[in-house]
């Protein structure tokens, strides 16, 4: 076998593989014997039909099987010979294949990028600790009170911080908003819509104009849609809303006492305060940890640049786009609005994908150099954790992963986490004053 290698780009290669005639004949003969042993013909038991009849009936299938085996073996030998690390299945162009003749095929493939690792120990990072104080705790407790608030009908004009229940119809340039922005159904009209009178609640400038209104009142509310408003067709334009006040509601917050603490599974208010303080500090510590890790990874990424395989970037871009769209749909964003922003989504996804692919190759190379591996126990623990998160029996979850060929993806995630742990452990971290 003769295999010549040609570079088509930093990560794109072309292998021209030539196989001698005797090896071609051997591949065809092996495929023929397989069909003679296993193929069935009417009137004959498997393996008993005459060779000539098998050849006549299954010649195309025999040729296909001979090619598959010959080119698979030859390609693997050529990859090993040239020390290539393919990341995609090759595109194959067959030049010649016939019994008694030399066979030739051209394989085009993408490979792992070749680059030198930068110095990845002592990467710089700044650790800014967050100190939770009484102000943070009281603010969190106030948020918990808001979640347990009652809303009582107020037989008086609306005031700041009240909740008003309204019906409204929106217009822009004298037309219903939906005619100008079909995706903005929520701005076009609504009935029994609850909104709090507060700055920047709903549409900036909207709710402040409801102060002093009572149930049964009707008002025209005007707004200026910001230049960066979420609906492109309304950006920088003026809107008006015909509003009917259905009801004014006054918020009644529970007292901060032991009875309130019990609503949150704490025995006393003091215990609730300390629990909130502990939770806030844990959250702050988590932010601090994530921030340091992000700095370390960025410092590593900034130290090296290399071309990346187009197929890997394209595949990851598709994954990122899928996740962005799924997340937006979960948040209730209309499909029409997502379609309008597809160019921005693709641009953001492509940049994210490049960073992820670059990090993946960097982490993998560091893992090899430092002997960082994922144990079976670590993999099992992660799968069990994911099964619990998705509320799926472990056996069923493992089967689903295997069917999707997703086990290796989890191994990759674990490996990359361990590499970032390693980078953080060996980073040069400076402590900034606590905030």
Query: Looking at residue 182, which CATH number applies to its domain?
Result: 3.10.50.40
373 within domain boundaries:
yes
Domain of residue 344, CATH code: 1.10.3120.10
Is the domain of 350 the same as that of 241?
no
Is the domain of 307 the same as that of 346?
yes
Is the domain of 304 the same as that of 343?
yes
Is the domain of 230 the same as that of 360?
no
Is the domain of 192 the same as that of 234?
yes
The predicted model gives 247-266 an average pLDDT of: 96
Domain end call among 110, 130, 159: 110
CA distances from 428 to 121, 123, 178, 425 (A): 8, 6, 56, 9
Is the domain of 271 the same as that of 246?
no
Number of domains in the chain: 3
CB 10 within 8 A of CB 307: yes
Is the domain of 10 the same as that of 52?
yes
Dist. CA 401–CA 411, nearest whole Å: 12
Q: If pLDDT is split at 50, 70 and 90, which confidence band does 197 have?
A: very high
Residue 136, pLDDT > 70, answer yes
CA distances from 430 to 34, 255, 256, 292 (A): 68, 44, 40, 10
Dist. CA 283–CA 89, nearest whole Å: 44
Is the domain of 276 the same as that of 412?
yes
CA distances from 337 to 183, 236, 321 (A): 6, 18, 15
Domain end call among 190, 219, 252: 252
The predicted model gives 113-126 an average pLDDT of: 95
Is the domain of 49 the same as that of 174?
no
Block residue for tokens 């149930």:
215
121 within domain boundaries:
no
- Say what the pTM is: 0.77
Q: If pLDDT is split at 50, 70 and 90, which confidence band does 435 have?
A: low
Q: Which tokens hold the place of 321?
A: 């786009």
The contacts of residue 303 (CB under 8 Å, 6+ apart) are 118, 119, 120
Per-residue pLDDT reduced to its tens digit, 65-112:
999 999 999 999 999 999 999 998 999 999 999 999 999 999 999 999
CB 420 within 8 A of CB 297: yes
Is the domain of 197 the same as that of 325?
no
Q: If pLDDT is split at 50, 70 and 90, which confidence band does 232 have?
A: confident
Residue 328, pLDDT > 90, answer no
Phi, psi of 45 (to 5 degrees): -75, 155
The predicted model gives 152-158 an average pLDDT of: 96
Q: Which tokens hold the place of 262?
A: 């019990």
pLDDT in the model for residue 286: 95
pLDDT in the model for residue 206: 96
The contacts of residue 381 (CB under 8 Å, 6+ apart) are none
137 within domain boundaries:
no
Domain end call among 110, 131, 160: 110
pLDDT in the model for residue 40: 78
Q: Which tokens hold the place of 152?
A: 């009582």
Residue 193, pLDDT > 80, answer yes
141 within domain boundaries:
no
Dist. CA 61–CA 292, nearest whole Å: 59
201 within domain boundaries:
yes
Is the domain of 313 the same as that of 414?
yes
124 within domain boundaries:
no
Least confident of 47-51, 71-75, 345-349: 47-51
The predicted model gives 177-196 an average pLDDT of: 90
116 within domain boundaries:
no
Q: If pLDDT is split at 50, 70 and 90, which confidence band does 48 have?
A: confident
Domain of residue 76, CATH code: 3.30.70.1050
Q: Which tokens hold the place of 78?
A: 């050529």
Block residue for tokens 């394989």:
107
Is the domain of 233 the same as that of 272?
no
Cα 319 to its chain centre, rounded Å, is: 6
Q: Which residue has the higher pLDDT, 250 or 338?
A: 250
The predicted model gives 151-164 an average pLDDT of: 96
Dist. CA 282–CA 259, nearest whole Å: 26
Bridge-based pairing of strands 428-432 and 124-128 is parallel
Per-residue pLDDT reduced to its tens digit, 332-342:
777 777 787 88
The domain in which residue 190 lies consists of 150-252
Average pLDDT over the chain, rounded to an integer? 93
Q: Which residue has the higher pLDDT, 384 or 337?
A: 384
Q: Which tokens hold the place of 77?
A: 């030998």
Per-residue pLDDT reduced to its tens digit, 400-424:
999 988 899 999 999 999 999 999 9
118 within domain boundaries:
no
Dist. CA 116–CA 255, nearest whole Å: 63
Q: What's the per-residue H, E or C state across the chain? A: CEEEEEECCCCEEEEEEEECHHHHHHHHHHHHHHHHHHCCCCCCCCCCCCHHHHHHHHHHHHHHHHHHHHHHHHHHHHHHHCCCCECCCCEEEEEECCCCCCEEEEEEEEECCCCCCCCCCCCEEEEECCCCCHHHHHHHHHHHHHHCCEEEECCCCCCCCCEEEEEEEEEECCEEHHHHCCCCHHHHEEEEEEEECCCCCCCCCCHHHHCCCCCCCEEEEEEECCCCCCCHHHCCCEEEEEEEEEEEEEEECCCCCHHHHHHCCCCCHHHHHHHHHHHHHHHHHHHHHHHHHHHHHHHHHHCCCCCCCHHHHHHHHHHHHHHHHHHHHHCCCCHHHHHHCHHHHHHHHHHHHHHHHHHHHHHHHHHHHHCCCCCHHHHHHHHHHHHHHCCCCHHHHHHHHHHCCCHHHHHHHHHHHHHHHHHHHCCEEEEECCC
pLDDT in the model for residue 220: 97
């Amino acid at each position: 076998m003769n295999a010549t290698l040609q570079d088509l780009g930093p990560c794109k290669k072309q292998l021209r593989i030539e196989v001698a005639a005797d090896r071609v004949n051997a591949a065809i003969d092996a495929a023929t014997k397989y069909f003679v042993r296993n193929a069935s013909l009417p009137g004959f038991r498997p393996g008993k039909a005459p060779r000539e009849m098998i050849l006549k009936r299954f010649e195309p299938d025999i040729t296909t099987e001979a090619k598959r085996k010959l080119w698979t073996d030859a390609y693997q030998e050529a990859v090993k010979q040239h020390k290539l690390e393919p990341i995609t299945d090759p595109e194959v162009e067959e030049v010649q294949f016939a019994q008694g003749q030399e066979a030739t095929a051209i394989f085009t493939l993408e490979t792992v990028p070749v680059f030198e690792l930068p110095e990845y120990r002592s990467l710089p990072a700044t650790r800014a600790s967050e100190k939770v104080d009484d102000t943070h705790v009281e603010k969190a407790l106030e948020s918990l009170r808001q979640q347990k608030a009652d809303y009582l009908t107020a037989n008086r004009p609306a005031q700041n911080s009240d909740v008003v229940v309204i019906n409204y119809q929106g217009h822009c340039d004298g037309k219903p908003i939906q005619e100008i922005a079909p995706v903005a159904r929520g701005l076009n009209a609504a009935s029994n819509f609850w909104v709090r009178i507060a700055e920047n609640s709903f549409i900036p400038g909207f709710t402040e104009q409801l102060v002093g209104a009572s149930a049964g009142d009707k008002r025209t509310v005007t707004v200026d849609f910001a230049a960066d408003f979420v609906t492109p067709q309304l950006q920088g334009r003026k809107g008006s809303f015909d509003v009917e006040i259905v009801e004014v509601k006054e918020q009644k917050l529970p007292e901060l006492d032991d009875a309130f603490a019990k609503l949150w599974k704490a025995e006393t208010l003091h215990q609730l305060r300390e629990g909130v303080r502990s939770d806030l500090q844990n959250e702050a510590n988590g932010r601090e940890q994530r921030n340091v890790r992000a700095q370390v990874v960025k410092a590593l990424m900034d130290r090296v640049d290399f071309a990346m395989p187009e197929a890997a970037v394209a595949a990851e871009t598709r994954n990122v786009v899928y996740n962005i769209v799924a997340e937006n749909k979960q948040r209730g964003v209309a499909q029409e609005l997502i379609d309008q922003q597809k160019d921005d989504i693709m641009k953001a996804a492509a940049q994210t994908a490049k960073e992820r692919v670059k990090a993946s190759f960097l982490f993998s190379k560091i893992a090899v150099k430092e002997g960082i591996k994922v144990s079976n126990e670590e993999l099992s623990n992660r799968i069990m954790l994911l099964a619990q998160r998705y509320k799926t029996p472990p056996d069923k979850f493992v089967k689903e992963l295997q069917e999707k060929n997703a086990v290796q993806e989890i191994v990759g995630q674990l490996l990359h986490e361990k590499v970032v742990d390693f980078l953080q452990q060996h980073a040069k971290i400076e402590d900034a004053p606590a905030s």
